Amino acid sequence: MLRVTSCRSLASHAGASQPDQAFLPAFRVTEKPIDWCNSCSYLNAGVMRTSCRFAMAVHVLAVLAYKEGDRVTSRFLAGSVNTNPVIIRRLLLALQRAELVDTRKGARSGSRLARAPGRITLAQVFRAVEHADTFATPARKPNADCPVGNCIIATLEEIFTSAQKAMERDLAGKTLSDVIEHIRASGLCSKTKGR
| CATH code, 76 | 1.10.10.10
Q: Tell me which residue range forms the domain holding 14.
A: 7-48
- pLDDT, tens digit (0-9, with 9 covering 90-100), for 9-65: 333 344 444 433 333 334 333 343 334 444 443 344 455 556 789 999 999 999 999
Note whether 26 and 42 are same-domain residues.
yes
* Same domain for 57 and 28: no
Please answer whether residues 150 and 102 qualify as being in contact, where contact means their C-beta atoms are separated by less than 8 angstroms.
Answer: no
Are 100 and 63 in the same domain?
Answer: yes
On whether residue 98 sits in a domain, the answer given is: yes
d(CA 176, CA 15): 31
pLDDT tens for 3-22 read: 333 333 333 344 444 433 33
pLDDT at 138: 83
Q: Tell which wins on pLDDT, 189 or 28.
A: 189
Q: How far apart (Å, rounded) are the C-alpha atoms in residues 48 and 72?
A: 33
| Same-domain check for residues 98 and 72 | yes
**Cα–Cα distance between 9 and 179 in angstroms, integer?**
34
Per-residue pLDDT, averaged over 138-153, amounts to 89
From CA 115, how far away is CA 69, in angstroms rounded?
Answer: 10
Q: How many domains does the chain have?
A: 2
**How high is the pLDDT of residue 96?**
95
